[in-house]
Amino acid sequence: MLIKSNEVIKFYYLKLKSIQKRIFVIMSPAKVLLSSSVATLRSGFSALVIFFGVFFFTPSACLAQDTTIAGQSVQKNDSLPVAVKIVYDTALQKQLLAGGYYNLPDPNKKRIRLVAAGNIIGYGGTMVALYSAWYKNYPQTGFHSFNDFPEWKQVDKAGHLYSAYIESRASMELWRWTGIDRKKRIWIGGMSGAAYQTVIEVLDGFSEGWGWSWTDFSANILGSGLLVAQELAWDDQRIKLKFSFHRKNYDDAELNSRSNSLFGKSTAERLLKDYNGQTYWASANIRSFFPKAKVPGWLSIAVGYGAEGMFGGRENTGKDDNGNIIFNRTDIKRYRQWYLAPDIDFTKIKTNKKGIKFLFTVLSAFKFPSPALQFSNGKLKGYFLYF
């Protein structure tokens, strides 16, 4: 079949025998000759997968314009063969509809080995260091669990959710870099965060001062699951989990002393331990959900959660090793805080610079300082700049 070079590109959506299997095919004029074998489809697509990787298809039809085939130069004329391109990824759809061509490379074995070794050595070393610096100094017991859900107004649970999500996202991007199969990249990388956090939960389970927490474990699974579900459904993180922190200082010397004792004196320690200064966000990109919205592609709306007035896990009291009360500030109210604020999704800012792309990916893990509305204690409060 021949078409004229000035004909309009056509986009076809094909349903296969199973409604769970679907492919996108673009037919357009191209200055290449197609080989006899266009594509071979293999089964196994998930019901949630609406964009696909080319790893199950013969890539012989994905040839760039102005190339040669089998060493023979392509002849240019007004009547050109139809170039059929199988498209499995929404990003590739846009690229191909814009007239581009894409050849997916084979998985890079060196990168696979590098990422695998990095995960094993890096995480293994971190766990050894964590055990030596933290768990080794506390009495060990038989494996046990405990219920810490009532503690810290569940801000620590939001921290588990965020940590598992971010670790999964980082791991998934590393596996994407290797070029492995899309579904493998999503599941291996996507569940890494939950796996990493579960190891810490096991260590907690053997520590006398803590224990295995089912709510922590559930938050870990939910964090990684959120990433996996979005990748399978949209091939994108339309809703990103983010973090922000501000150091808390008090006019009351007793509260500052208590904070130093519980959370540490340095800003780094406070960032990790002081739940009063932490805020966790779910940031949704507007254009990802409403493509026709007349707003910048990087603009997002974020909902945040935090809490204040917490100087103990469940109540504002503290005891020494003998059980004597050494801190008692039950007069201070413990309360939740909800936020609404605009945000920037740095991953939606277009750039061809690899270094800047990497920087934007890192920045996208944190909430950008912006005006915000806070709702707490039944009152609404505005901030000119909140982080």
174 in a domain, yes or no? yes
pTM listed for this prediction: 0.75
171 and 270 together in one domain: yes
Q: Is residue 105 part of a domain?
A: no
Q: Which of 97, 128, 155 is the last residue before a domain boundary?
A: 97
The whole domain housing 255 covers: 113-386
pLDDT digits (tens, 9 = 90+) for 7-22: 343 344 433 333 333 3
C-alpha 281/C-alpha 374 separation (Å) is: 13
Domain boundary among the residues 70, 97, 124 is at 97
**Is residue 299 located within the same domain as residue 214?**
yes
- Could you tell me if 339 and 382 are in contact, meaning their C-beta atoms sit under 8 angstroms apart? no
Confirm whether 72 is domain-assigned.
Answer: yes
**Is 246's pLDDT higher than 60?**
yes
- Of 71, 97, 123, which marks where a domain is finished? 97
With bands split at pLDDT 50, 70 and 90, how would you rate the model's confidence at 100? low
Inter-axis angle of helices 214-234 and 155-178, nearest 10:
40
**What pLDDT shows up at residue 117?**
94
Q: What is the DSSP string of 154-196?
A: GHHHHHHHHHHHHHHHHHHHHHHHHT--HHHIIIIIHTHHHHH
Q: Kindly state whether residues 85 and 139 are assigned to the same domain.
A: no
Q: Which residue has the tokens 């997002």?
A: 300
pLDDT for 207-224, tens place per residue?
A: 988 999 999 999 999 999
Distances (CA, A) of 256 to 40, 113, 328: 67, 48, 14
Reading the block at residue 94, the tokens are 């846009």
Residues 83 and 143 in one domain: no
H-assigned helices in 206-352:
214-234, 253-263, 267-273, 286-289
> What sign results for the dihedral spanned by CA atoms 324, 144, 122, 352?
negative
Are 129 and 36 in the same domain?
no
Same domain membership, residue 178 and residue 286: yes
18 within domain boundaries: yes
Number of domains forming the structure of the chain: 2
157 shares a domain with 88: no
**Residue 332, domain member (yes or no):** yes
Q: Where are the alpha helices (DSSP H) in 206-273?
A: 214-234, 253-263, 267-273
Mark whether 245 and 357 lie in a shared domain.
yes
Neighbour count for residue 297 (Cβ, 10 Å): 15
Q: What average pLDDT does the segment 239-251 reach?
A: 97
Per the structure block, which two tokens stand in for 29?
């004029």
Same domain, 122 and 13: no
In a domain, 330, yes or no: yes
Residue 382 falls within a domain, yes or no? yes
At residue 165, does pLDDT exceed 90?
yes
pLDDT digits (tens, 9 = 90+) for 333-359: 999 999 999 999 999 999 999 999 999
* Residue 211 lies inside a defined structural domain of this protein: yes
pLDDT at 282: 98
Q: What is the pLDDT of residue 99?
A: 53
* CA dist., res. 158 & res. 284, Å (int): 17
Distance in angstroms (rounded) separating the CA atoms of residues 222 and 351: 32
Q: Is the same domain home to 124 and 243?
A: yes
Q: Which residues of 91-119 are buried (b: 16+ CB within 10 A; e: fewer)?
A: ebbeebeeeebeebeeeeeeeeeebeeeb
Rounded CA gap, 371 and 387, in Å?
A: 9
Question: Do residues 134 and 71 both lie within one domain?
Answer: no
Same domain, 50 and 176: no
